[in-house]
Structure 1
Amino acid sequence: MDSRTTASPTGQTDYAFDRHGGWSWAVPYLVGIYALGLQVDPDLSPERFYQAALETGSYTEFEHAGRTYRLGPIINPPALIERFKSS
C-alpha cells in the first residue's frame, strides 16, 4: 500500500503525496471499499467481497533486468462495485 496521493490537511485545494505506507493504510482502504459494497448489496459477506475483489482485480506488468514481472490482483473499486450491482 505505497505511493498514495491524498487530501492534505493544509488546505481545501492541497494534496499530499506519500511514498511509503503499510497496513495502517491498507486496512481502512479495504474497509471503506467493503462499506461501499454494502451500500450496493447489504447482504454482502466478507467472503463474497474477497472473492469478487480477486476476480475483478487488475494486473500490471513491468520489466526489470530482462525479466517481466506481473503484479496483482490490484483492487479495482469501480469494477468491484459494478459486480455487486449486477449480482
Structure 2
Amino acid sequence: MFLLVSSGKLKGKTIKIIKGTANLNYSIYVLEGFIIFFSAILLTGSFIGSFKKMTRLQKFCLFLVFICSLLPFITGMLPLIKKFL
C-alpha cells in the first residue's frame, strides 16, 4: 500500500522501483486507524462477559470508543476510496 519510488544507477542504466498504489501519509493513517480499531475490538471483547452488568452510560462510552476508533481508519481510506470510484 505504500508508494515507494527510488532511482539509482546500475551500469549506466537508471532504475526506478515503485511498489504499491497508495500515498505514504494515507497508509500511515490507515495503519494507525487499524491499530486503534483493533485495540477497541479487544477492549470491547474484554467487556463482553460483563456487558449485561454495565450501566447505560458505560455501554454508551464503550460505543463511543468503538466509533471514534474508526475515524482515523476511515480518514485514511477516503482518498483510496475516491481513487477507485
TM-score (structure 1 length as normaliser): 0.26
Q: Which has the higher strand share?
A: 1
Which structure's relative contact order is higher, taking Cα pairs within 8 Å and 6+ residues apart? 2
Q: Which has the higher helix share?
A: 2
